[in-house]
């Protein structure tokens, strides 16, 4: 019975999380399509067998399907949910239906519809952060050790996970980023660290270890403490005005985007290991851990973070993803002619193969990660 309860802690939050983010993404496509006068034939959360659905007065079939690992928004005239090809019978549509069919739209309308999905993912994150900052206060990651780098300076000194760092070199630290700042200003190669472990206050003299870090596109060796942050955040309870909260939400969204792009760039250039690439199982694990150990606030912030990543990844210029469509429709707008159907078909086949390979690789990484977590 206990295993069933533990499974529920991971499965249910994951389905809720993914369902909301997929709905937000697809609703962006749906709303912009409707504003552009395009008929949406299907709006699906999940794939496979339909479990529940209804058709609204605009002839859109809303449904929830059995496999909750995504979703799609299909338009009139499309042969598939990816809008890769037009339906063979599209020329047989009536004149009124052709005005509402996706293949007959101008490239700028197609571009707007495609950008609606990622755009709504970003909008959702900004709204969540704005409400959190305005109603609850700005959050920060506390100076608590989440993970100690094996063989690093902290590991050799005896610092362990869950230690809360209070001071570095006599300077009080309030959030995790303060630790990095103070360590970078350490003189002499040894840092004085005061921390709290349970009810104890402990002092350490830590000889720093040289570790490679990436900054501004360059890799340099710097003296580092060798600790990583926890995923749990804290609120400072200093509520912000709505305009200030919105501005800070936009800044936070940009910081997450910039950090993700830097991480992807490091993987591509080989500066970061590909083992950090995770997939569906990693998301399920993290959403379950957060819902089990932390509160709804952490879960909401995690949802906003994933929404940004979902929007960003979909903008990558890979056929099948929204970014691939953006490239094609931009080319069509510049050239004033439609890209050859056979060329598009081949591009989408290559894109699909690439995405499938990445999914398989990410899932393998997830299995390896879970094996080391539970069995190693």
- Tell whether the model's pLDDT for residue 272 goes beyond 60: no
CA distances from 22 to 26, 32, 155, 203 (A): 6, 16, 41, 48
Element (H, E) at 300: helix 296-314
Report the distance separating Cα 322 and Cα 82, nearest Å: 9
Using one digit for the tens of pLDDT, what is the confidence trace for 317-330?
Answer: 998 899 999 999 99
Position 87 confidence tier, pLDDT thresholds 50, 70, 90 = low
Using one digit for the tens of pLDDT, what is the confidence trace for 122-174?
Answer: 999 999 999 988 988 877 778 899 888 888 899 999 999 889 999 999 989 88
240-256 average pLDDT score = 91
CA distances from 26 to 23, 44, 77 (A): 5, 8, 18
Residue 370 pLDDT: 75
3-class DSSP assignment, residue 169:
coil
Lowest average pLDDT, out of 47-51, 208-212, 300-304, 360-364, goes to 208-212
Residue 59 pLDDT: 92
Position 46 confidence tier, pLDDT thresholds 50, 70, 90 = very high
Report the distance separating Cα 213 and Cα 271, nearest Å: 9
Higher pLDDT, 242 or 2: 242
26 carries an active-site annotation: yes
- Tell whether the model's pLDDT for residue 216 goes beyond 50: no
Using one digit for the tens of pLDDT, what is the confidence trace for 67-82?
Answer: 988 999 999 988 776 6
Mean of pLDDT over the chain: 85
Using one digit for the tens of pLDDT, what is the confidence trace for 223-240?
Answer: 889 898 876 666 666 778
Taking the mean position of all CA atoms in its chain, how far away is CA 185? 33
Instruction: Kindly name the residue from 2, 26, 214, 285 that is annotated as catalytic.
Output: 26
Using one digit for the tens of pLDDT, what is the confidence trace for 179-205?
Answer: 887 887 787 789 999 999 999 999 999
Residue 273 pLDDT: 61
Position 90 confidence tier, pLDDT thresholds 50, 70, 90 = confident
**How deeply is 244 buried, as exposed, middle or buried, from its count of CB atoms within 10 A (0-12, 13-18, 19+)?**
middle
Sequence-distant (≥ 6) Cβ neighbours of residue 242 within 8 angstroms: 130, 134
Report the distance separating Cα 181 and Cα 63, nearest Å: 50
């Amino acid at each position: 019975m206990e295993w069933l309860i533990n499974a529920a802690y991971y499965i249910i939050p994951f389905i809720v999380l993914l369902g909301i983010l997929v709905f937000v993404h697809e609703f962006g496509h749906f709303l912009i399509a409707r504003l552009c006068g395009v008929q949406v034939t299907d709006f699906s959360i999940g794939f496979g067998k339909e479990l529940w659905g209804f058709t609204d007065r605009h002839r859109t079939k809303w449904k929830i399907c059995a496999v909750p690992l995504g979703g799609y928004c299909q338009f009139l005239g499309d042969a598939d949910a990816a809008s890769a090809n037009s339906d063979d019978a599209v020329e047989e549509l009536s004149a009124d239906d052709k005005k509402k069919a996706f293949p007959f739209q101008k490239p700028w309308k197609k571009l707007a519809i495609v950008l609606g999905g990622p755009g709504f993912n970003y909008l959702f994150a900004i709204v969540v952060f704005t409400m959190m900052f305005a109603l609850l206060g700005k959050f920060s990651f506390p100076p608590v050790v989440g993970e100690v780098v094996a063989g690093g300076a902290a590991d050799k000194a005896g610092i362990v996970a869950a230690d809360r760092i209070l001071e570095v070199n006599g300077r009080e630290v309030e959030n995790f980023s303060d630790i990095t700042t103070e360590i970078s200003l350490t003189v002499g190669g040894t840092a004085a660290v005061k921390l709290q472990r349970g009810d104890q206050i402990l002092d350490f003299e830590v000889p720093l270890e040289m570790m490679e870090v990436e900054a501004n596109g360059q890799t340099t060796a710097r003296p580092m403490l060798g600790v990583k942050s926890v995923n749990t955040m804290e609120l400072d309870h200093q509520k912000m005005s709505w305009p200030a909260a919105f501005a800070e939400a936009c800044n936070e969204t940009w910081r997450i985007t910039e950090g993700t792009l830097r991480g992807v760039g490091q993987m591509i250039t080989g500066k970061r290991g590909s083992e950090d690439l995770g997939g569906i199982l990693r998301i399920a694990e993290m959403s379950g851990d957060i819902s089990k150990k932390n509160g709804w606030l952490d879960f909401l912030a995690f949802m906003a973070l994933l929404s940004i990543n979902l929007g960003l990844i979909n903008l990558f210029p890979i056929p099948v993803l929204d970014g691939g469509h953006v490239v094609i429709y931009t080319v069509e707008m510049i050239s004033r002619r439609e890209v050859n159907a056979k060329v598009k078909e081949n591009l989408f086949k290559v894109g699909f193969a690439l995405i499938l390979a990445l999914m398989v690789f990410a899932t393998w990484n997830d299995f390896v990660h879970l094996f080391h977590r539970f069995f190693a």
